Structure 1
Amino acid sequence: MRRDTFLKSLTALAAVSATGLPLTAWAQTALRLMIPANPGGGWDLTGRALGQALQDAGQARSVTFENRGGAAGTIGLAQFYNARRADPDALLVMGAVMLGGIITGRPPVSITQLTPIARLTTEFNVFVLPADSPLRTMRDVVEQLRRDPGSVKWGGGSRGSTEHVAAALIARAAGVDAGRINYVPFRGGGEAVAAILGGNVTVGGSGLSEFLPHIQAGRMRAIAVTSEQRLPGHNIPTLREQGIDVVIGNWRGVYGAAGITPAQRAALTERVQRATESQTWRTALQTNGWTPAFLSGPAFDQFVERDFARLRAVMAMSGMI
């Protein structure tokens, strides 16, 4: 969509929504939100927090959630595409992980067939060890990786997720062939957490929000974060502090259905933006350690295009594709 067309659509919403309803009538509509992952993970937390914020901000009477995990979100993506075509009251949670899954899996439905709405947050990956692991730091992990790459089992999201890419980049930085890493993908954060706590993987990676309760309870030990600086309020060393020059972030956002009109896209964008300005959403950001990163319209379109290209380059360099 051209920038001027999108901005004109937003302006028209000052009095009336794309469906002909006054803005206050949005509070009487029901939204349907597809979460293309199993319960307990970052997409699930994001979707449910956004759904609550939409209701609390008066942008929906109710929000129904559907979880459909697998294949880096592309199974839920395909179901959303087929079931919600031209539905102006439907949203799909997505993000960098889905882009990676599309690149590696080449599914029949791509995110480019849907309607971009907004980027919501950025979250950096945290790597953790089970509390009883004989390894203590990321340097210990790297030393074992150098001795025997296959002996280090990396647990995380689907193949092509940001934690998968981060593991490959860590291997490259350590002088290890990234194609030799032993990566174990899981369909959702709940499965990954269970595998880490059960000692079925050596090291786990995901967003801080998924691991934080277990870190605080002493069941997991956080050994590294993929940000440039330590996260505020959390004493987790960065990879760079430990001599590993890797920085990578995981963003999350929402898309609308295929076939909605420019005015309907603008209306849905307005509703999501109002939700992210609510106290409910601000509380969710603080609780989960998410960095606000709202972006919409043509700027979001261009961001996704650039991130697709960046991920392809990193994956090719790391031997993942």
Structure 2
Amino acid sequence: MRAPRRSVVRRTVAVAAVLGTTLTLAACNQAAGGGAASSEEFPSKTVDIMVPAAAGGGWDSTARAMQKVIEDEDVVSEPVEVFNVEGGGGATGLSQLQKDEGDPHALMVTGLVMIGALEQASSPVSFEDTTPIATLTSEAEAFVVPSDSQYESIEDVVAAYEKDPASVTFGGGSAGGSDQLVVAELMKAAGADPSQMKYVGYSGGGEAIAGILSGDVAVGVSGVSEFESQIEAGDMRLLAISTAETQEVAGEEATTLQDAGYDIDFSNWRALVAAPGLSDDAKEQVTEVVDELHGTQGWKDALEANGWADFYKTGDEAQEYIDSEVDRVAALYEDLGL
């Protein structure tokens, strides 16, 4: 049976009431922390992946591997661009990301390096100023020297440091990051004083490699993948890796710090975050795209080619892990006197 006719006036009032309720609910949702509204499917324009460091490092290679797989596997229909923002161990890039609040197309590769750098610098920006999407990879840290170095083993380096900390200069990623942190843990495990460390932080992997090969620093420290080609070419000598489990590097099984007698099992991890203030719907859509990326054969091939371990977490699990790492690193820096 057809419903009775209503007057135009009553119909207008009803529509206005519904519209008013809808707007009120939307405003309440945003005020309660629901983030910026997302009324369109992701992506609706170019996806920008920021690397908050110079080209050539682990963040850079991760972002560019993601870009290649997304394009090769047709994960999204819109373009994906990667760009670099240097400075402050990632703090400069993180500050820039904040300006894109609510925009799911503004993404950034980050990880343990940034947590340490922000902690050491007492930065006004933090991981609370992002929307965590996923942890992606983990990787052993490598201790390397130029092929003509006087140091033949990691024990030689530790012995020289114990005798005179000023005689051994270490170099790697940004000061305060995972590269410096693993050196500090090594010296603590050896019974030496980590706070005496001389460390040079470079803004990107290319600069770090140049500094190591030129002799500006005595020992280089970074992710295995950043040094493997130089090790394979014979320009660098691998002294040890930081994980308890060994792996092949440049065709040979690597010595671990535990093999050398130091009780350390340390991995550097990387993650993807979005701008702060994303709505739940926008966060879910970005995560779905990263899920699809993670499931491709292209991404599995990238992990193998770069020697990265799959360290995939999303949603609450990713958020809780990153929060726990922020707390852990803060405690470590206090404990190590850094």
Query: 1:211 & 1:20 partners in 2: Cα distance?
Result: 42
- Whether the 8 Å contact between 1:53 and 1:276 is mirrored in structure 2 is no
Report whether the alignment pairs 1:164 with 2:177. Answer: no
Q: What is the deviation of 1:265? A: 0.2
Q: Which residue of 2 aligns with 1:80?
A: 97
Secondary structure of 1:142's counterpart equals helix
- Whether the 8 Å contact between 1:54 and 1:271 is mirrored in structure 2 is no
Secondary structure of 2:108's counterpart equals strand
CA-to-aligned-CA distance 1:109-137 (integer Å, 9 cap, x gap): 21211111000000110110100101111
Query: 2:244 & 2:189 partners in 1: Cα distance?
Result: 16
The answer to which of 230-239 and 31-40 deviates more is 230-239
Query: 2:234 & 2:335 partners in 1: Cα distance?
Result: 37
Report whether the alignment pairs 1:230 with 2:246. Answer: yes
CA-to-aligned-CA distance 1:149-202 (integer Å, 9 cap, x gap): 111001011122111111111111222111101111111111110001111111
Report whether the alignment pairs 1:204 with 2:216. Answer: no
Q: What is the deviation of 1:70? A: 1.9
Question: Cα 1:75–1:234, aligned 2, differ >3 Å: closer, same or farther?
Answer: farther
Q: What is the deviation of 1:254? A: 0.5
Larger Rg: 2
Q: Which residue of 2 aligns with 1:8?
A: none
Q: Mark the runs of 5 or more structure 2 residues left unpaired by the alignment.
A: 1-37
Q: Which residue of 1 aligns with 2:60?
A: 44
CA-to-aligned-CA distance 1:48-83 (integer Å, 9 cap, x gap): 11112222332333111110122111111111212x
Q: Which of 120, 131, 144 in structure 2 is aligned with 1:115?
A: 131
Aligned AA for 2:329?
L
Secondary structure of 1:241's counterpart equals coil
Secondary structure of 2:200's counterpart equals strand
Query: 2:297 & 2:310 partners in 1: Cα distance?
Result: 13
Q: What is the deviation of 1:247? A: 1.6
The answer to which of 188-197 and 64-73 deviates more is 64-73
Aligned AA for 2:282?
Q
Report whether the alignment pairs 1:65 with 2:65. Answer: no
Query: 1:226 & 1:152 partners in 2: Cα distance?
Result: 19
- After TM superposition, the score normalised by the length of structure 2 is 0.85
Query: 1:48 & 1:202 partners in 2: Cα distance?
Result: 30
Aligned AA for 2:118?
I
Matching of residues 1-321 of structure 1 within 5 Å? 19-21=39-41, 26=43, 29-60=45-76, 61-82=78-99, 84-232=100-248, 234-320=252-338
Query: 1:314 & 1:280 partners in 2: Cα distance?
Result: 36
Query: 2:257 & 2:180 partners in 1: Cα distance?
Result: 15
Q: What is the deviation of 1:268? A: 0.3
Question: Cα 1:217–1:19, aligned 2, differ >3 Å: closer, same or farther?
Answer: farther
Query: 1:210 & 1:19 partners in 2: Cα distance?
Result: 41
Q: What is the deviation of 1:105? A: 1.2
Q: What is the deviation of 1:29? A: 4.0
Q: Which residue of 1 aligns with 2:11?
A: none
Q: Which runs of 4+ in 1 moved over 4 A?
A: none
Q: Mark the runs of 5 or more structure 1 residues left unpaired by the alignment.
A: 1-17
Query: 1:234 & 1:182 partners in 2: Cα distance?
Result: 30
Query: 2:129 & 2:188 partners in 1: Cα distance?
Result: 34
Aligned length: 298
Query: 2:208 & 2:163 partners in 1: Cα distance?
Result: 25
- Whether the 8 Å contact between 1:50 and 1:276 is mirrored in structure 2 is no
Query: 1:169 & 1:315 partners in 2: Cα distance?
Result: 10
Let me know the Cα RMSD of the aligned residues: 1.4
Aligned AA for 1:77?
L
Q: Percent identity?
A: 37
Q: Which residue of 1 aligns with 2:8?
A: none
